[in-house]
Structure 1
Amino acid sequence: MVGVWLIIISYFIYVNLNFLARCKWLPLPKFFHTLSKAKRYLVTAALPYANGPLHIGHIAGAYLPADIYVRFLKAQGKDVAFICGSDENGAAITLRAKKEKTTPKEIVDRYHGIIQKAFEDFGMSFDIYHRTSGDDHKEMAQEFFLELHKNQAFEEKKSEQYFDEKEGMFLADRYITGTCPKCSNEGAYGDQCEKCGSALSPDDLINPKSTISGATPVKKETSHWYLPMQQHEDWLRDWLVEGKLEGKETHNPSDWKNNVLGQCKSWIDGGLQSRAMTRDLDWGVPVPLENSEGKVLYVWLDAPIGYVTATKKWADQQKKDWKEYWKSEDSELIHFIGKDNIVFHCIIFPILLKLNKGFNLPANVPANEFLNLEGQKISTSRNWAVWLHEYLEDFPGKQDELRYVLCSIAPETKDSEFTWKDFQARVNNELVAVLGNFVNRALVLTHKYYEGEVPAPNTLNETDKEVLAEAKAIPARVEKALSEYKFREALQHAMSLARLGNKYLADEEPWKQIKTDQERVKTIMSIALEITAGLRGVLLPFLPNTVAKLDAMLNLEPATWRTLQSDIWIEAGHKINKAQLLFSKVEDADIDKQIEKLAQNNKANNQKVKPMKELTDFDTFQKMDLRMAEIKEAVKVPKSSKLFQLKVDIGSEERTVVSGIAKHFSPEDLVGKKVLMLANLAPRKIMGIESQGMLLFAEDDQEKLYTVEGNSDVMNGATVS
């Protein structure tokens, strides 16, 4: 304990004297956080589907945090490969092509160009942005598949899969929609429900329909290669949940986000199932085996291999060995993704990597939750989104402003929300009024008083020492937060340096003291410029364009993280350049324009009524037993955020009904309500509870539910006819 106190006391002695280094006194102590012992880093950002443009939800979820982390690593001098590219295979591409009555190639060529340009204009620092429709990827993916096949990773088996008789084709997962068995969302896909995030198979869907023709598909026999994931549950649990594997597969669960491990644990505990690794499609990477005509690799086998393809191409260009980044024990693989991709990057792809032998498993998968927009889920189909390329056109030169706001509200542990008013407030009140104001004051006053030359400090008072001690402690806080993937916290620490400088100048008022104590002002301005120079380092990962302006104004070499490890961040006598405004205010008119654009989209969407379902005959309708039911009890189903277990009275008896409405109502809202109920629906087990009917609700195009209430005077069990 004595030793600990000695360290603490020594630290405070040092930091209180740190600025005396200017006068050749004691050097600044360096307590910088160590990232890891990795020699090199392979950082990937989720491959965006080349079937539509990028919106700010994509940026906040995966690409901005990945870019911040990579810039942080590179500023430390680390060996980093930052990999991304367009995902150009799979059913989503062919679906878009069919809807637009064109070819998949035309779709991917168009949207790859739009996406790549948006990334470039936004300033993403990818080392390579590749695409998965090229011959090099086809070769890599087929080689990967053949290696897995040789290692007996797959089971070839026949099964009955959905077939669209109108179109004469087997239906890939995304070609099938139906009702999700877990949350009752009627628009769930055959591989995933995008409303509740559950991974599904086409057989799970209730009332499946072909998205191509709208017809009810039939089952038809086909043959595919399956990955028996259930055979890998033990080592996945040991690796992911328990952290028991050693060597290059060592993993500390406490380093991973709870939302990521929680979803993985739920999958494993629920029992993994075999999953087909091939599909009956005419667009994608052909299966490189005999008797496989008309079959391609499943997109979630094909797409992650795109990371490998891109790494190889980049490494060839740099005259490096790509295998060092994927297979070396002193390399770390880190995936940045959204929460809807967790299962693929943490379970399916790791199984494939391990079976291929020699590949590293991911050291971390810092997945984010979803970003909402103005109180609603971002929806590409409803055009309820802020598209990146449109933002860049409407706000030219304001890339850093968007980076700042999206990082400030990043959905790191739960869904968060972007609003245009909040965007305006953060830019004007934080970037302009705090960061921009401080830097402008410091540089303008230096030119006014000292013709742009950094003054030497005189005697430091207690306030000066405290301010400098705090300033020198901030970089370590930023570094620690970044190393733990806490980007919001890291940005707050970085901005605290600007707030510190702004408050220091406001409190000391050098523009007043210059009239009475010119020597004191030299010390004040020296400290202000020291803080300004330090801002270049702590803000570099977040605001690269702003830092480049600071470099130019301060007439300093481009900042790195090592800059912050120097005892002095800017030398006395150094000549700086003239000040320029770092930021300009976002005007009300600009925000009103964006809000009006969304309002017009919302108005257009509200005018759209869901299409009618197929006609049914009177006899079929007569089979439906609709009754008035009174909700007596409502409780949440354990381990589910979507489901309520309800006790309902239908007059002759009380029944249990499980309904995926927990996101729309609270239990107290429902108890005592009289609602319509389909009483003769066959019982179905949901989360182990037998549901004995279905309650009826109205749903608008924004997926909001409303109770279809009955007259309170009508007795329970009264029939509806």
Structure 2
Amino acid sequence: MAETAAVLPVAGRRNVLVTSALPCVNNVPHLGNLVGCVLSPDAFARYCRLRGHNVLFVCGTDEYGAATEARARREGCSPREICDRYHALHREVYEWFGISFDHFGRTSSPQQTEICQDIFRRLLENNWLSEKTIQQLYCSSCQKFLEDRLVEGSCPVEGCGHNSARGDRCEKCGELLDSVELIDPKCEVCRSTPCVRDIDDLLLELPLLKEKLESYIDGASGDGSWSQNAVHVTNAWLKGGLKPRCITRGLKWGVPVLHDKYKDKVFYAWFDAPIGYISATACYTPEWEKWWKNPENVELYQFMGKDDVPFHTIMFPSVLLGTGENWTSLKTISVTEYLKYESGIQNIPPEVWRYYLLTNRPEASDTQFTWTDLQAKLRNELVKKLGNFINRVLSFIVKPEGAGYGSIIPPATNAESHPRTQAFSETVGKLVDQYIDAMDKVKLKQGLKIAMAICSEGNAYLQQSQFWKLYKQDPPCCTTVIKTSVGLVYLLACLLEPFMPSFSKEVLQQLNLCPEEHLSFCDEKGDKYKAKRLWDLIPSGHRIGKPAPLFKGLDDNTVKGIKIKIASSQAERRFKLLHNWKTTLSS
């Protein structure tokens, strides 16, 4: 089979580069990871393809750092074995969710090492790095300096005081920390109290880059395309004052530092990980610079959770600016708050999860996942509204002649003169314009809401038309209503494809249409204007396939069974971790 040609920027087209924040490789993806970092950019990338844009969507596992070394130590294996195992697991989860990465890479690739070291060399040559003696926690029991992720203590931030803060960040207040600032710090490995010692490291001189950075931020965020939470976090960092930030760490698992004095160290994860977007593209195509060093012709969209903002709006841009090269700049950053959840994600179809997570996308504030809310949305929105509308239309068409149309789409002979149909199509056309406007601005939650509003209009149109009476009383009007309604079924399959691709594929199969035969909503083709002539979307005489229910509800007993299974799985996992922990301590 011939290899598919790599997607590269094309002159005269909108070239959209979409990145998803790299998930840490040492854990299983959970709902919060999925909605903010993976599912949201997937919906946007799919929408951009629907619009006819030239899209590249990349991601990969973040594999280096203290957390991976610690996990490997606990499980009695090498960091590479941990990364191989969890990279495969991540890939499997994302494939099940229907995530449409063009490339899903990993930061342990040779390309990552090459690009990371080249960026470091340029920073060194341009005098943006300094050597300094800094303080770091040292564990006398383990006889080693402790990486930030290997230290736990109370958060020093006033008003927080979280007693399980890590040495690099407090998960409760979100503040980035230095391990020496922690109150009552403990070594994660042996639980002893470390002491403070001096150590030499290389630092990125962020204060010297401030002028370049502020100019970059003003230009990149000036058109309002950054989400408000991203702007708020970034401004807070600038207002608080930039400080030199260490880029080297005394680990073994990471990109080696090309410097005689620091050859036994690797790059700090915050410096290394964002470069993973570039290296993932380099793994995808040797012509990666056409995407990453092409600011005039490429639009960069980045998606992440709120705790990753400073690394993408302060740190990563500073690193790239310091090289002096002409890197593609950030056009839009879309940031989600936290999605808090009761428990896991199994035994429910991926399209249901995708719908629920995106309709609950925490764009402005944290949201809470509950099984009750999932059950209600599935029952009221997917089963009763969307699924019922589609099944009702298609089931009527496949009825034998005398009761339906024998699976053949009838003509719409009086659509142009039918007032209700004209008003309905006009309303749908305006809603499609609103959908496109929302999605262009990366307002995914609003775009999904508008698509479902179109479905509600379809239900009202169908019910008010009383097609079951028209079939005998006014056959021409009935055929117009049915042909218009089946056109809306097709339109909904296209509009909802970014959110529920497997649903869209199933609807197109029931319509007996190829998955590729969807509207593109491309401005050049004028497809979006066809939404105002719904009766023309599928030709008369087309034979549809066999309709079938698209969704089914989730009863209390099923939910109870899932919870029991998840609780049992979590208990078993905790036992294994505890066993591995004790084995590590005794060895």
Q: State TM-score, norm by structure 2.
A: 0.88
Match for residue 421 of structure 1?
Answer: 372
Do the aligned partners of residues 294 and 606 (structure 1) sit closer, same or farther apart at CA in structure 2, a change above 3 Å counting? Answer: closer
Kindly indicate whether residue 106 of structure 2 is the aligned counterpart of residue 131 of structure 1.
yes
Relative contact order (C-alpha < 8 Å, sep 6+): which is higher? 2
Structure 1 Cα separation of the partners of residues 164 and 31 of structure 2: 23
- Give the counterpart letter for 2:539 in structure 1: E
Equivalent pair of 2:212/2:321 in contact (CA under 8 Å): no
Pair 1:432–1:480, CA change in 2 (3 A): same
The secondary structure found in structure 1 opposite 2:224 is: helix
Equivalent residue in structure 1 for 2:192, among 194, 201, 215: 215
The Cα offsets for residues 432-481 of structure 1, whole Å up to 9 and x where unpaired, read as 11111111111111122222222222333322211111122222111111
**Structure 1 segment 609-648 matched on structure 2, within 5 A:** none
State the AA in 2 paired with 1:344. Answer: F
Q: Retained in 2: the 8 A contact 1:353–1:361?
A: no
Shift of 1:135: 2.4
Does the alignment pair 1:561 with 2:520?
Answer: yes
Deviations 1:471-492 (A, max 9, x none): 2222211111111121111101
Deviation string 1:301-344 (CA, Å, 9 cap, x unpaired) is 1111111111012123xxxx211211111101121110110010
Q: Is the 8 A contact 1:224 1:279 kept in 2?
A: yes
> SS state of the match for residue 254, structure 1?
coil
Tell whether the 8 Å contact from 1:237 to 1:265 is kept in structure 2 after alignment: no
Is it true that 1:505 corresponds to 2:475 in the alignment? no
Q: Is the 8 A contact 1:442 1:525 kept in 2?
A: yes
Equivalent residue number for residue 100 of structure 1 = 75
Counterpart of 2:553 (choices 558, 566, 585) is 585
Match of 1:283 among 253, 278, 289: 253
Deviation per CA, 1:361-414, whole angstroms, max 9, x where unpaired?
A: 21121110000114xxxxxxxxxx41x5xx1xx23xx11110000011111111
The aligned amino acid for 2:418 is N
| Alignment partner of 1:456 is 2:407 | no
Quote the Cα distance in structure 2 between the aligned partners of 1:104 and 1:605: 19
Q: In the alignment, which residue of structure 2 is the partner of 1:348? A: 315
1:224 partner letter: D
Q: Report the structure, 1 or 2, having the larger helix content.
A: 2
1:229 corresponds, among 206, 228, 246, to 206
> Which residue matches 2:450?
493
Query: 1:363 is paired with a residue of what secondary structure?
Result: strand
Amino acid paired to 1:533: Y
SS for the counterpart of 1:366 is strand
Alignment of 1:47 with 2:22, yes or no, is: yes
Amino acid at match of 2:477: R
Query: Structure 1 stretches of 5 or more lacking a match?
Result: 1-36, 375-384, 608-721
Which has the larger displacement, 510-519 or 424-433? 510-519
Letter paired with 2:288: W
> Alignment partner of 2:238: what SS?
helix
Aligned mate of 2:121, from 117, 125, 146: 146
Alpha-carbon shift at residue 86 of structure 1 (Å): 0.8
Code of the residue aligned with 1:476 in structure 2: it is D
Q: Which residue is equivalent to 1:258?
A: 228
Equivalence for 1:64: 39
Q: Secondary structure at the match of 1:93?
A: helix
Q: CA RMSD in A?
A: 2.1
- Kindly tell me: are residues 236 and 144 of structure 1, through their superposed partners in 2, closer, same or farther at Cα, counting changes over 3 Å? closer
In the alignment, is the contact (CA less than 8 A) between 1:354 and 1:360 conserved in 2? no
Residues 400 and 84 (structure 1 numbering): CA distance in 2 closer, same or farther, change over 3 Å? same
Q: Does the 8 Å CA contact 1:420/1:595 hold for their aligned counterparts? A: no
- Aligned-partner Cα distance in 2 for 1:496–1:534: 13
The answer on 1:170 being equivalent to 2:145 is yes
Matched position secondary structure for 1:111: helix
The residue aligned with 2:338 is 370
Relative to structure 1, the CA distance from residue 99 to residue 122 in structure 2 (aligned partners, 3 Å threshold; closer, same or farther) is same
Q: Pick closer, same or farther for the CA change 1:485–1:142 going to 2, 3 Å.
A: same
Secondary structure of residue in 1 paired with 2:494 = helix
Contact 1:51–1:111 at 8 Å: present in 2 too? yes
**1:530–1:570 contact (8 Å) kept in structure 2:** yes
Q: What CA deviation, in whole Å up to 9, does each residue of 1:108-141 have, x standing for no partner? A: 1111111111111211100011111122322222
Q: Aligned ranges for residues 592-611 of structure 1 at < 5 Å?
A: 592-597=560-565
SS of equivalent residue, structure 2 residue 472: coil
The alignment status of 1:297 with 2:278, answered yes or no, reads no
Secondary structure of 1:359's counterpart equals coil
Instruction: Name 1:644's counterpart in structure 2.
Output: none
CA contact 2:389–2:458 (8 Å) conserved in 1: yes
- Given the superposition, is the C-alpha separation of residues 232 and 124 from structure 1 closer, same or farther in structure 2, using an over 3 Å criterion? same
Equivalent residue, structure 2, for 1:324: 290
TM-score normalised by the chain length of structure 1: 0.72
Q: Is the CA contact 1:226–1:274 (under 8 Å) kept in the aligned structure 2?
A: yes
Taking the aligned partners of 1:561 and 1:325, their CA distance within structure 2 comes to: 24
Please say if residues 537 and 564 of structure 1, whose CA atoms lie closer than 8 Å, have aligned partners that are also in contact.
no
Q: Tell me the distance in 1 between the aligned counterparts of 2:109 and 2:539.
A: 52
Separation in 2, partners of 1:38, 1:150: 36
Q: Is the 8 A contact 2:413 2:480 kept in 1?
A: yes
1:158/1:213 CA distance change after superposition, 3 Å:
same
- Contact (CA 8 Å) 2:225, 2:331: kept in 1 or not? no
> Are the counterparts in 2 of residues 69 and 541 from structure 1 also a CA contact under 8 Å?
yes
Contact in 2 for aligned 1:354/1:361 (Cα 8 Å): no
Residues of 1 paired with 2:558 and 2:170: CA distance?
36
Q: How many correspondences in the alignment? A: 543
In structure 2, do the counterparts of structure 1 residues 491 and 461 end up closer, same or farther at CA, with 3 Å as the change threshold? same
CA drift of 1:565 comes to: 4.0
Counterpart AA for 2:35: A
Opposite residue 592 of structure 1, the aligned amino acid is K
- Alpha-carbon distance between aligned partners in 2 of 1:537 and 1:572, rounded to the nearest angstrom: 20
Residues 528, 39 of structure 1: CA spacing in aligned structure 2 closer, same or farther, 3 A cutoff? closer
CA distance in 2 between partners of 1:238 and 1:424 (Å): 48
Q: What does residue 329 of structure 2 align with? A: 361
Q: Which moved more, 1:134-143 or 1:477-486?
A: 134-143
Q: Does structure 1 residue 85 correspond to structure 2 residue 60? A: yes
**Structure 1 residues 600, 107: CA separation in 2 closer, same or farther (over 3 Å shift)?**
closer
Counterpart secondary structure, 2:334: coil
Q: 1:473 and 2:443 equivalent?
A: no
Q: Which of the numbers 162, 165, 170 marks the counterpart of 1:185?
A: 162
- Give the direction of change, closer, same or farther, for the CA distance of 1:606–1:293 in structure 2 (3 Å limit): closer
Does the alignment pair 1:335 with 2:302?
yes
Q: Which among 384, 400, 410 is matched to residue 361 of structure 2?
A: 410
Cα drift, residue 38 of structure 1: 6.8
Cα distance between partner residues in 1 of 2:207 and 2:151: 25
For 1:439, the equivalent position in structure 2 comes to 390
- The amino acid across from 1:426 in the alignment is K
